[in-house]
């Protein structure tokens, strides 16, 4: 465990699913509910156990992904045979001819033409046989996210309803022009004269020419970039030598909902600070020059799809395609700012093994715990910015508002509310795909009165398979009109004594304190203000923790993390969010030695050049882990193999190059939240607090507390008839993430809250031997 003053950084299975997918969808956009949430630890299906144990001298396995999560009708299969003569059958077909020797008795073959559902792959040699059962899903998905939303528009040129289309290829190149920092179009029939050369980290020198593959998986776009020699062959069994078998996955920012295809992000800080000059190539270009493959998916961009399950599913499917057509992967590094940090943190925690290294900036631990913070901001703004709501004699200054909010300025609440909260939670805002090109919004967009069955542009409805629907007892008029509940509310503000710290320190008066808590109220599911406090759906909160939408960092021991950032002038990206991750990791694993933090002077990002430097140091870190053959768990090796120069840093004007966490807190980089100012935990991971009766002593502190008279206390008792927050207890439904959940029911439909997959069978090509311990089933 690090010392508290450590120095900081300066610088279907049962495929009953498949018939259901092609059957009718319910009016809410998903298949009928299976009606039950799987119990923690339940085994989803016996299919994964049907791979027999290796027969001496003969073994067959799926390499490109888990055997139960194959997609697109093909799978890369490995046969290990002591005999050079063997046969392989996929169901009733002989597919032996597709296999090629890769040495040491190993043979790889891309078996295609797999039907939807189960197929047994059987290898036979010298009177022995071995087999594995693969379960194939559509290329348009889903694989594990459960029934897809009905309201979805596929782009022209794709085949509906799953937007399937052949992959397209073109070429790009790096110019020798020193003022050019990106990639330019390249025509193999008319090559330009200014093609740069690059030497990969394996010492292979090639022209800096890149092939770009673009296509659709999981109903949305993906991109794969690799150094490529035009005119030369490339197969999974024999990749071109410039590829180092490492993968970089860039991410985008924001938290939003889309009902049509988006773009796969590539640039550093995409979606938050587009086009920020880093003084060198963008990280994805640097990675390509080193020999990396770069893989990006639209659905791994939280600004396009704020869903940990869709984020994970899209990358898993795209990595499967990469392994099938390019070759096996040693390790994968993620990069991204804001929403890019959310995707990395939550996917790595809920679906371990997809990433081995995370490079996060403008950092958040997840979308939903900051969502609770921003919901509080939204309610506080409704009160603070409307003086007509203030009681007689009550006046609020901007400084007092900021004190209640836990920030330096009320501007931060405005930015968070307008730029993030409303776009994520307001079901009536214009999200992509809801504008009908002929009939306009009315046919598709949700309206509580005019079109209650329309598309809801709220993240809560995007992740309805994870949260579940609201129970009938909570239905409003719109839900009753359409006969179903909308996505459950995963946070509430019942019991919160807003402004308690400011009252205790004398920054606000008892009159202000009582007036605020009387009038702040809450929100309904359509983001409309209500007089009562927001009431969370208990099952939705429990499922938010269970599915990893609220990230307690319980499964990050097996990944290396570099986080970098800078001061926030009021843009809703406090460096404190990085400390939330630190606190949660410390609680979950007892240390944070697999994570380093860098703090620099540039707002939000520390230093623009750190994007490339962090990628470089992460590559060195994972290479060291890969080379370590000493005994010990993967988690232990990640800690002990962290290079000596990968340390915490701090670069702050007029300070020494090194500063401590305590100094950073003094510098106001570790700011607070409305709930923290009300007595909540510094980890800010309680979506709805447990309650206890309000006592006079709760507000009998501070220099002005004696002014809180009997009448004012009686008013507070009316505000909190069920009690106030007992922050000494865990929050409602609070608990760890269950990893590797899928959301389809074996007989068709959805299992709200997910059901665990068993331990992984296959997928060795997704990650190298040094990191396979981190790629497993549910835990």
pLDDT in tens, 662-700: 676 666 678 999 999 999 999 999 999 999 999 998 987
- pLDDT above 90 (res 756): yes
DSSP assigned state of 602? B
CA dist 18 to 70, 115, 119, 138, 564, Å?
13, 11, 14, 9, 43
> Would residue 413 count as lying in a domain?
yes
> Would residue 711 count as lying in a domain?
yes
Question: Alpha helices of 295-385 — where are they, by DSSP H?
Answer: 308-325, 339-350, 368-384
> Would residue 289 count as lying in a domain?
no
d(CA 296, CA 293) in angstroms, rounded, equals: 10
d(CA 521, CA 531) in angstroms, rounded, equals: 5
d(CA 46, CA 38) in angstroms, rounded, equals: 15
> Would residue 678 count as lying in a domain?
yes
Q: How many domains does the chain have?
A: 1
Average pLDDT, the chain: 89
Give residue 139's pLDDT.
97
For the chain, the maximum distance between any two Cα atoms, rounded to a whole number of angstroms, is 93
> At a CB cut-off of 8 Å and minimum separation 6, what does 302 contact?
251, 252, 253, 254, 255, 256, 311, 339, 340, 342, 343, 367
Give residue 279's pLDDT.
65
Give residue 663's pLDDT.
72
> Would residue 184 count as lying in a domain?
no
Among left, alpha and beta (phi > 0; psi -120 to 50; other), residue 562 is beta
Task: Please state, for a pLDDT cut of 90, what percent of the chain lies above it.
Answer: 78
pTM above 0.85, yes or no: yes
> Would residue 261 count as lying in a domain?
no
Phi, psi of 617 (to 5 degrees): -70, -35
Confidence of residue 35 (pLDDT cuts 50, 70, 90): very low
Confidence of residue 159 (pLDDT cuts 50, 70, 90): confident
pLDDT for 462-495, tens place per residue?
A: 999 999 999 999 999 999 999 999 999 999 999 9
Strands (E), 651-749: 691-692, 724-725, 741-744
pLDDT for 89-112, tens place per residue?
A: 999 999 999 999 999 999 999 999
Residue of 119, 110, 106, 34 lying closest to 68 (CA atoms): 119
Give residue 669's pLDDT.
79
Token pair in block for residue 510: 């008892």
Question: Are 553 and 365 within 8 A, CB to CB?
Answer: yes
**3-state SS assignment for residue 646:** coil
Give residue 486's pLDDT.
97
> Would residue 58 count as lying in a domain?
no
> At a CB cut-off of 8 Å and minimum separation 6, what does 376 contact?
405, 493, 496, 498, 673, 674, 675
**Residue 376 structural domain:** 370-544+674-725
Residue of 135, 132, 143, 144 lying closest to 49 (CA atoms): 132
For residue 241, the tally of other CB atoms under 10 A from its CB is: 14
> Would residue 311 count as lying in a domain?
no
């Amino acid at each position: 465990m690090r010392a508290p003053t450590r120095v900081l950084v300066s610088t279907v299975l049962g495929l009953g699913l498949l018939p259901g997918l092609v059957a009718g969808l319910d009016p809410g956009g998903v298949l009928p509910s299976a009606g039950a949430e799987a119990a923690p630890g339940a085994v989803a299906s016996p299919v994964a156990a049907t791979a027999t144990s290796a027969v001496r001298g003969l073994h067959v396995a799926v390499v490109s992904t888990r055997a139960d999560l194959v997609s697109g009708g093909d799978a890369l299969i490995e046969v290990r045979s002591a005999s050079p003569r063997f046969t392989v059958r996929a169901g009733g077909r002989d597919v032996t001819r597709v296999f090629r020797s890769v040495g040491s008795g190993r043979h790889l073959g891309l078996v295609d033409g797999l039907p939807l559902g189960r197929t047994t792959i059987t290898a036979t040699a010298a009177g022995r046989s071995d087999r594995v059962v693969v379960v194939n899903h559509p290329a348009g998905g889903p694989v594990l996210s459960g029934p897809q939303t009905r309201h979805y528009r596929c782009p022209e040129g794709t085949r509906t309803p799953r937007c399937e289309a052949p992959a397209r290829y073109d070429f790009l190149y790096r110019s020798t022009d020193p003022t050019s920092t990106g990639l330019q179009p390249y025509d193999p029939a008319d090559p330009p004269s200014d093609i740069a050369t690059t030497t990969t980290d394996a010492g292979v020198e090639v022209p800096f020419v890149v092939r770009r593959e673009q296509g659709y998986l999981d109903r949305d776009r993906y991109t794969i970039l690799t150094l490529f020699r035009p005119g030369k062959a490339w197969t999974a069994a024999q990749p071109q030598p410039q590829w180092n078998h490492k993968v970089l996955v860039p991410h985008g920012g924001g938290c939003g909902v889309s009902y049509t295809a988006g773009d796969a992000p590539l640039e550093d800080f995409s979606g938050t600070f587009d086009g920020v000059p880093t003084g060198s190539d963008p990280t994805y270009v640097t990675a390509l020059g080193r020999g990396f493959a770069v893989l990006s998916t639209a659905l791994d961009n939280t600004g396009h799809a704020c869903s940990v399950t869709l984020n994970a599913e899209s990358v898993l499917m795209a990595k499967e395609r990469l392994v099938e057509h390019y070759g096996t992967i040693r390790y994968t590094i993620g990069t991204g700012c804001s929403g890019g940090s959310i995707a990395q943190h939550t996917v790595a925690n809920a679906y371990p093994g997809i990433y081995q290294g995370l490079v996060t900036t403008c950092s958040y631990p997840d979308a939903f715990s900051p969502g609770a913070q921003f919901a509080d901001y939204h309610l506080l703004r409704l009160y603070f910015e409307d003086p007509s709501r203030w009681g007689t004699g009550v006046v609020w200054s901007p400084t007092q508002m900021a004190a209640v909010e836990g920030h330096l300025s009320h501007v931060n609440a405005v930015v968070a509310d307008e730029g993030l909260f409303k776009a994520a939670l307001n079901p009536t805002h214009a999200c992509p795909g809801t504008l009908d090109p002929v009939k306009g919004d009315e046919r598709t967009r949700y309206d509580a009165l005019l079109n209650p069955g329309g598309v809801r542009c709220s993240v809560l409805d995007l992740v309805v398979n994870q949260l579940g629907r609201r129970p009938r007892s909570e239905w409003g008029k719109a839900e009753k009109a359409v006969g179903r509940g909308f996505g459950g509310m995963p946070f509430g503000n019942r019991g919160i004594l807003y402004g308690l710290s400011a009252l205790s320190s004398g920054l606000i008066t008892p009159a202000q304190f009582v007036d605020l808590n009387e009038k702040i109220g809450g929100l309904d599911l359509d983001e409309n203000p209500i007089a009562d406090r927001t009431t969370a759906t208990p099952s939705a909160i429990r499922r938010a923790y269970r599915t990893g939408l609220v990230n307690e960092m319980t499964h990050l021991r097996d990944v290396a993390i570099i986080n970098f950032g800078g001061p926030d002038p009021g843009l809703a990206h406090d460096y404190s969010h990085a400390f939330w991750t630190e606190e949660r990791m410390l609680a979950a694993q007892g240390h944070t030695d697999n994570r380093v933090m860098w703090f620099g002077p540039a707002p939000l990002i520390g230093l623009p050049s750190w994007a490339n430097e962090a990628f470089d140091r992460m590559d060195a870190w994972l290479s060291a882990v890969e080379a370590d053959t000493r005994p010990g768990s993967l988690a232990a090796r990640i800690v002990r193999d962290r290079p000596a120069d990968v340390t915490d840093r701090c670069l702050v004007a007029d300070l020494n190059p090194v500063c401590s966490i305590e100094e950073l807190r003094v510098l106001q980089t570790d700011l607070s939240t409305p709930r923290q100012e009300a007595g909540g935990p510094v980890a800010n991971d309680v979506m709805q607090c447990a309650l206890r009766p309000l006592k006079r002593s709760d507000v009998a502190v501070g220099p002005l507390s004696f002014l809180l008279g009997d009448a004012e206390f009686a008013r507070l008792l009316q505000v909190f008839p069920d009690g106030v927050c007992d922050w000494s207890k865990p929050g409602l439904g609070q608990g760890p993430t269950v990893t590797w959940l899928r959301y389809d029911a074996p007989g068709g439909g959805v299992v709200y809250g997910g059901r665990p997959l068993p331990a992984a069978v296959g997928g060795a090509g997704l990650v190298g031997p040094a990191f396979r311990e981190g790629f497993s089933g549910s835990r």
